[in-house]
Each structure stands twice: as structure tokens, then as C-alpha cells.
Amino acid sequence: MNIQGSEQITITRNSQGIPKVIAKNELDIYFGMGYCHAMDRGSQMLLMRILGQGTASEHLANEPEMLEIDRFFRQMNWNGHLESEIEKFTKEEIEKLKAYCEGVKVSFSKKTPWAFKNLLKYKKFDWEISDILLLGRMSGYLTLAQSQGEIERLFIEMVQKDTPREMLEELFPDILDTYDEEILKKIKLQGKIIPDAVKWNAMIAPLMASNNWVVAGKKTQSGMPILSNDPHLEINRIPTVWYEMQFELDDKAAYTATMPGISAMLIGRTKDLSWGATYTFMDAMDSWIEQCKDGKYLKDGAWHDFTVRKEMIHRKKDSDIEFIVYENDHGFLEGNPFEEGYYLANRWSGSLGGADSIKSGLKLWNAKSVQEGMEVLGKLEMSFNWVLADVQGNIGYQMSGLLPIRKNGNNGFVPLIGWEKENDWQGFYPHSDLPRRYNPKEGFIATANENLSQYGKVNPHTITMGSYRADRICKILEAEEKITVDFIKEMHYDTYSLQAEKMMPFIKTLLPKTENGDILQHWDYCYDTDSKGAYLFEQIYRTLYAEVFGKVLGKDVNDFLQNETGVYIDFYANFDAILLADQSKWFGDKTKTEIYREAIEKALQTKAKPWGDFNQFYLTDILLGEKLPKFLGFNKGPYPLPGGRATIHQGQVYKSNGRQTSFAPSFRMVTDMSTETIFTNIAGGVSDKRFSKYYTSDFKNWQSKIYKKIDL
């Protein structure tokens, strides 16, 4: 079809439904992007804007859960201070952003999302530059707070429950600094950084673990770099967060995965450059302990007024609710300062930004080399690990994100004393100080959410994911000298667990001579869907947590952390270090052998079953959730999911707050820079419309190891 931008734009679809925008100028590239986003993912865009603005109670449903979501987003104030960010854009950048927004508006003028217009009676079918910034802030923050904030909050709660210091130092080695136990116990905790209803709501997909790697030409069959990326997200949602697009302008072309509502090519490639991202676990969020009374906070020996922001939440067929947010230079306060006591104030480094990230996204279309791409991507305020490859044969790695400059000796894991000025942030480190690499001698670069501080001038981490997936990727790449695209595709589906390889030798010495014991003795450490060994190992692993951490923290606390949070999922390496130790304070008066023997005996009482019978998920519509009968086709499944927490093909399914959630490869891509071809598959489809043939059009390919081949 043809649409009118500044000039005529042609939009076609390939056989898989992926749209291709053919434009005559760069402005119309963004016009076409906006048009396609609204055409295929209009409901997704509107839904995310409603959530980000804190208007779910007004537009979606007047329910307690929606009110909690609104309170959270209003508190974060991502919809505030947007005009000052817009002023940072150049005239040329504003024109591109306006072109994107105009494309959205034109698409909505032709057809509005049915559910929003007819069911919800929603009326605001447009898009503004402020909406782009809002969604950018949301995507940059949710996972950071979910992971970093939750583990830091757990530490405070453990201190307040009198967990011995030596146990805490063993669980969180080298990151606790010197903390004042007495002050930490006085903090009046108001809850988690992100309410559970926000974090696990089916409408919001947290950006989670991922793999990416790039291989230099000296290790590939083609003699040119090959780049791979498979971001791990919540896959049990329809539509998937990613939206694939192709662009063509004269002799330039690109194929990228985008996020509807954001005018940027997020991961993908042009004819000159390819790039992929993983999450960094950068510690870019801090908490300060504020001493409060009479509505004021103490700073430098004097009492100061908070900035007071009143928020009004409108509710469907109900009275409005007003609440007050108290803020200072340390962010928003968790609590009422008129009730004397100690509270936490929280700040994320990118809380008021967004413009620099959007600027970087606009520049990728014209970036031609790895070094240029590293400079562009390094300036993002969101924290990601980027790997890159270009047609000159170069490969590179760059971390992005705003890392606070803290006082010497402080890393941000332990809450800071708010009334001492020396604990304030002193700006942010330049991206050139963050971890980065260029054409390393080993001929490849891989990242999988592990600690990468050795490649930077500063350490951005306090606590990260374990290195099992990264170690497995590196081990495979080291051993192979003629790597091909097909070889990388197989790596994407690898389910071998180095975690199991590390733990099983000791477990094997204690296994009983039973059917279940025999299954584990001969297990290949792979989490294939038909593996009974994977199922039994996971039963032992969960029981070990109960025997070690449950005995100290309490059964209910352990069960909650295991079943209702991401703590054990994100930071299992810290807990594994305890389980793998020969001796530990966490073992109490038992030996390691006694603990393992008891755990094995309890766990193996279960009947073995295939991993895929246990590890299953449903595809659930983001707007309607499980509210409609299954026969209507909005929700699909169940589907078995291969992989585990520590496999390249990560495959985690669990319930949180009664909802099923998951972490698995959401989008796979691989490209050889000797060609102008990219191979992808996605855990979903192009459209968010239930009756579109593109609703889950690529899901079978995703399951079956089949990749779309796209020529630029």
C-alpha cells in the first residue's frame, strides 16, 4: 500500500507479515515506522501509555490492582519533566520525532483499536513526543528496579530480622561496605521498590536476562563477523514486546526489532552495522535513609521542606483519590514525613532523562562502523551491554547507562545516610569509562548479564547474574574455528546447564539406588522438554533452598522468595555459592553431606516426569488476560518450554501473585556481515489483533528452530 508522508511512502509485507517501509527521505522512514506501529500494535501502544501516565483506574478498570499500578507510576513521575527533555532535541531530531508521531496519528485516523474504542470508550487516539519519552523511561527502569531494588530491599529486611552479619557477608561478599545495623533497623519500610501488581502485571513485560555474542572473522567460515542476540523476556504474553520492521531508502536498508511507541531501531542491522543488547545489572539506583519529622528532612544539621506533589487519580464510576508524593534531591520518599522516623528515599539515575537515549536511537540509521556505533549506543541512559559488528570486519562491546559517581568506598548496595552531604551523587561517569572492548585477541565477545567490570575503568556492578550462560557460550565459541550462521542457530537452543554440571558430582555420591537415582546418575545435564533428569534435579535444588535458607529465613519467607519474587531467579549465583561451599554459617549445626542427603531423600520421593510436562506456559493476551474463555482464541497453550535458569536457552516459568510469568528467548537473530541477510524468529507474531493471521504467526517457527531469512 501507499501512504503520504512528506512524499509518497510504500509499505509492503513479506510472506511472514513483516512490514517493509520504502521511503524517499529519512523523515518518512520514521513516519512509516509510526504508521506501522499504530497499524499492527495500536492497542499495545495505548495500553502502555495509559499505564505510564498512571490512568489505568480511569481508562481500564476500577480495581484495587489498577489503583496500585496508578500509585506506582504517579510516584515515579515518568510523565513529568518531559518538556525540559524535549528542549534537548535539535531541530532536525524534532522533525524526525514529529514525523513518527504523525505516522501514528494518520494510522489511527484510518482505523482505531476496536477494544479501546468500543469496550473501553477511549478517545485519545494520537501520539506525542512526550509519549515516546514516557515509554523510553518505562522500558529503561522496570527491570532495574525489579532486580537491583528487590535484592537491596531483601538485605535491609534480613538485617531487621536479625540475620547474623557473618551470614550476610557470606551471601553478599565484598559489597556490604560498612553498614550501621542500628540505623538500618530503624527504617520504616513501606514495601518493595515496585509493587508486585506492577512488576508482574500481564500488561507489562519486564526486560530481563539475555544473551548476545559477536564472533570475529578469524573464527568464522565466511571470514567476516557473525553477530547473535536473543533477549530473554516474559514470553507468555501476546503480542510480544518486539515488533520487527524493514526499511529501505535509496541504497540504504535496515532490519530491526523495535518497540511500538518508541521511534528507534533497538536491535538489528543495516548494510554497514549490526548490534544486539543484553541487560547489564548496573547499580544505577540508590536509596538514602532520611530522618523525618514535622514534614521535614534533616540535611547538614538543618531541617528542610520536601517538594510536595499532589496526584489525583480518576476512577471509573467512582470518586477521585488524591495522594501526596514527597520528594527531595534523593528522589521520592517512601512514607509520611509528618510521622517522625527514618524512611527511604529512592532515585534512579535515568529518572528525569530520556532525550539522550532517543537521540542515540535516531543516529543508528546513519552509523557505519563499530566505533561509531559504540559512541552512539554508549550514550544511552538505559543500561545495556551492546555487541556490534561491521562490514569492515570489526567487532566491539560497549556498556551504556548512567552510572552515579559516589563517594570513595561506596557502591550503592547499602542505603546511604541522607543527612550527610558527602553521600550525594557527584554526577555520572562518561560512557568511555564503562566496560568496553574492541577487536579482542580471542576473536569473540559474549555477554549474558554477568559481571563485566574487568573491561572498564569503573565497576558498574554490585551484584549480577551468575556466569553460567556466559561461560557456556564462551566455551563453545573457543572450541570452534569455522563458525557459521547455522552453528549459531543451534547455540540459541542449547539447553546444557553448567550449573548442573557443577553441582551434580557431589549429588551423585549421595543418590539412592532407585529408579529416580538411576535417572540422575545418567542425566546429560540438558533441560530438554523430555528430560526427567532436569525435573528431578530441580526438585533437589528447590529442596536445598528450603533446607539451607528456609531454616534461617523461615519457611514462609523462603517460599515467597522462591515463588513470588525474582530474587532467587536473578541472583542464584550468590545462593549457589553457599550451597556449593564445603562449610557455611548457613548450614547451622549440620554438615554439607547431611543437608544434601536429607534434601535428596525428600526431593526424590516425587514421581519423575518430563521437564516439559512441568515447565509449561500459556500465551495470554496483554489486555484481556484470562478474562475470556479459551475457545475464543485470545489465549493459547499450554506449551512446553525447554531450558532452565542457567542454560543458553533460558526457560523459566513460575507463578507470581497468582499470575504465570516467564523468562525465555523472546527474539532470536543472527547475521553474517559477509552477506546482507539476517535470520530471526520471535515468540509471537506481528499483530496485536486476535483475528489477524499475524497474531502468533512466528510462534511455531520459534518453537521449531526455524528462522525467517530476510535480505536487506
pLDDT at residue 350 in the model? 82
CA 326 to each of CA 55, 68, 617: distance values in angstroms, whole numbers, following the listed order: 20, 17, 41
| Angle (nearest 5°) at CA 119 between 634 and 312 | 115
pLDDT at residue 199 in the model? 47
Burial class (CB in 10 A: 0-12, 13-18, 19+), 244: buried
Residue that is written with C-alpha cell 528525569 in the block: 352
Tell me the three state secondary structure of residue 512.
coil
Strands 273-279 and 267-270, by their bridges, are antiparallel
Per DSSP, the residues of 413-482 read: SSPEETT-GGGS---B--GGGS-EEES-TTSEEEESSS--GGGSSS---SS---SHHHHHHHHHHHH-SS
Phi, psi of 298 (to 5 degrees): -85, 135
- Which domains can be identified in the chain, with CATH numbers? 498-613 (1.10.1400)
Residue that is written with C-alpha cell 566505533 in the block: 371
Strand partners, 8: 4
C-alpha cell at 157: 529486611
Q: Identify residue 635 by its one-letter amino acid code.
A: N
Q: What is the pLDDT of residues 599-651, one digit of tens each?
A: 999 999 999 999 999 999 988 887 776 665 554 556 788 999 999 999 999 99
Residue pair 197/658 in contact (Cβ under 8 Å)? The answer is no
pLDDT at residue 406 in the model? 93
Query: For the residues 86-101, what does the mean pLDDT come to?
Result: 96
Most confident segment among 10-19, 80-89, 461-470: 10-19
Strands 302-305 and 307-315, by their bridges, are unpaired
CB atoms under 10 Å from CB of 320, counted, come to 10
Tell me the three state secondary structure of residue 368.
coil
C-alpha cell at 83: 518538556
pLDDT at residue 414 in the model? 92
Strands 667-672 and 252-258, by their bridges, are unpaired
Residue 200's pLDDT band, with cuts at 50, 70 and 90, is very low
Residue 144's pLDDT band, with cuts at 50, 70 and 90, is low
Q: Find the helix or strand (DSSP H, E) in which 563 lies.
A: helix 555-564
pLDDT at residue 652 in the model? 87
Q: What is the pLDDT of residues 235-278, one digit of tens each?
A: 888 899 899 999 999 999 999 999 999 999 999 999 999 999 99
pLDDT at residue 625 in the model? 67
pLDDT at residue 194 in the model? 45
What mean pLDDT value characterizes the chain?
91
Question: 440 or 69, which is more confident?
Answer: 440
Q: Identify residue 616 by its one-letter amino acid code.
A: Q
Residues ≥6 apart with Cβ < 8 Å to 517: 511, 604
Residue pair 561/192 in contact (Cβ under 8 Å)? The answer is no
117-131, 313-327, 517-531, 653-667: segment of lowest average pLDDT: 653-667
Strands 226-233 and 667-672, by their bridges, are antiparallel
Residues ≥6 apart with Cβ < 8 Å to 552: 163, 167, 586, 588
Q: What is the pLDDT of residues 404-451, one digit of tens each?
A: 999 887 888 999 999 999 999 999 999 999 999 999 999 999 999 999
Q: What value does the CA radius of gyration of the chain take, rounded to a whole number of Å?
A: 25
C-alpha cell at 171: 551471601
**How far, in whole angstroms, is CA 271 from its chain's centroid?**
28
**How far, in whole angstroms, is CA 284 from its chain's centroid?**
14
Q: Find the helix or strand (DSSP H, E) in which 52 lies.
A: helix 26-53
Q: Indicate the angle between helix axes 498-508 and 468-479, nearest 10 degrees.
A: 100
Asked if residue 143 has pLDDT above 70, the reply is no
